[in-house]
Amino acid sequence: MSEWQVIWSHQVEGPVNDVEIDEHGALVASGQTLFSLRNDGSLHWRSDQIFDVYSIEIAGSSVAVLTGTSIHVLDRHSGRPLSDGRSIPGGYREVVSRPGGGWVAADRGDHLHVFRPNGRGIRRLRVGSMRRLVGWLDREHLLMLDLDGALRCVRLHGEHAQRRIEDRRWMWCSSLERGRLLLLDVEGVLHEGVPNPFGWDELERITDGDIEPYRAVRCMDGWWTMNLEGRIRHALDENNIGFGDDRVDYLSSDGTGNILTATREGLLRWSIAPGISGLRAEGRRSQQEEERRRLDWLQRSTMFESAQQAEEEGLWSRALELYRALGRDEDVRRILGLQEGRD
């Protein structure tokens, strides 16, 4: 397996509480401030909150932010608030975006709170205590991991209902990414599966207990995990190529070839997958070639206008010089004919 490459690093004031990336760059929750960084690491915008920002969820052009006891929705591209915020006693534990628009947040008790895309509340559902929200099977079916380690599917439409998709217990599971899950069973064996509301479409054992993940992200080359010590490993190949033994606290991916890691103290590193650097270099070369052609066209256009003006003013030598430089042989012959006629 080829090595991932760090293309930029950046130090922000800690403590960092969460990071997320998408095709536009990174969002970093640092204390009471939410930073938006471009793909090259430069600052795009910042949004200062009254309380610490501790969780971020991006959905297209919007981002949900958990801060203090409230949830706020901001514009992804400017940081402008799109809602006045919704607060509850004790606050929210986590939030996930809903397919088709909207948000669902889990409080610190046993309720889910459903919101419109602008952050306005719709309803509250009592679903019981849970360990985490896992992800969506579709717009109405949300998968979550309960305190006993069982996967539960909650139906939000109409009279909500829920059921365990199987009797098996799991010590840990990732977020649902592109329909796939990474799971650790009670024997420490790692699995990858494709769940449905009634069980599994696929469930495959991929390691024999050498990895104990705490976080995981899925990229173009598979799953990358972070253990409790903050070390990053590939789930299948069990290597750390490009990430070394440096300890991190947060890990995020755009699902393709980019990974952002962060330490609690504020050290950010943006890494790209093997082959992406070559694609970026090729992209830069294409942009440079396109710009060269554009400038060449502008220069030739200016020269042609100057040649026409020289011709109108009777400056035959200047017009000939410019037409020759442009390779316009027909115009050169025409000007020579005009000169001979004038003579």
Q: What is the pLDDT of residue 341?
A: 67
pLDDT at residue number 286: 53
| Residue whose C-alpha is closest to residue 29's, from 266, 227, 261, 248 | 266
Which of 258, 273, 288 is the endpoint of a domain? 273
Are 117 and 72 contained in the same domain?
yes
**21 shares a domain with 65:** yes
Regarding whether 307 and 246 lie in a shared domain, the answer is: no
CA atoms within 13 A on the CB side of 175: 19
Residue 63 near residue 74 (C-beta atoms within 8 A): yes
137 and 162 together in one domain: yes
Q: What 8-state DSSP symbol labels residue 41?
A: S
Residue 56 pLDDT: 98
- Whether residues 216 and 312 fall in one domain: no
C-beta separation of 114 from 154 below 8 A: no
Both 198 and 321 in one domain: the answer is no
Q: Would you state the pLDDT for residue 240?
A: 65
One-letter amino acid of 280: R
In terms of domains, do 154 and 181 share one?
yes
- The CATH number for 264's domain is 2.130.10.10
pLDDT given at position 158: 74
Q: Which residues of the chain have pLDDT under 70?
A: 1-2, 209, 238-240, 242, 276-296, 341-343
pLDDT of residue 288: 52
**pLDDT at residue 284, as a whole number:** 47
On whether the CB atoms of residues 320 and 308 are closer than 8 A, the answer is no
Whose tokens are 């938006």? That residue is 36
Residue 173 CA to residue 135 CA, distance in Å, equals: 11
The C-alpha atoms of residue 78 and residue 261 are separated, in whole angstroms, by 23
Last residue of a domain, one of 236, 254, 273: 273
Concatenating the DSSP letter of every residue in 68-93 gives TTEEEEEETTT--BSS--EE-TT-EE
Instruction: List the domain range (segments joined by +) for residue 326.
Output: 280-342
Contact partners, residue 236, CB within 8 Å, separation at least 6:
206, 207, 222, 223
Please report the pLDDT score of residue 281 as a whole number: 45
Do 222 and 330 lie in one domain? The reply is no
Same domain, 167 and 313: no
What is the number of structural domains in the chain? 2
Map tokens 């939410």 to a residue.
34
Q: Alpha helices, DSSP H only, in the chain?
A: 276-312, 316-326, 329-342
Q: Are 224 and 235 contacting, i.e. CB atoms less than 8 angstroms apart?
A: yes
**Which of 238, 273, 308 is the last residue in one of the domains?**
273
Indicate whether 163 and 97 sit together in one domain.
Answer: yes
pLDDT attached to residue 303 = 82
Q: Are residue 293 and residue 244 in the same domain, yes or no?
A: no
Domain identity same for 246 and 293: no
User: For the sheet containing 5-11, what is the strand order?
Assistant: 5-11, 267-272, 258-262, 250-253
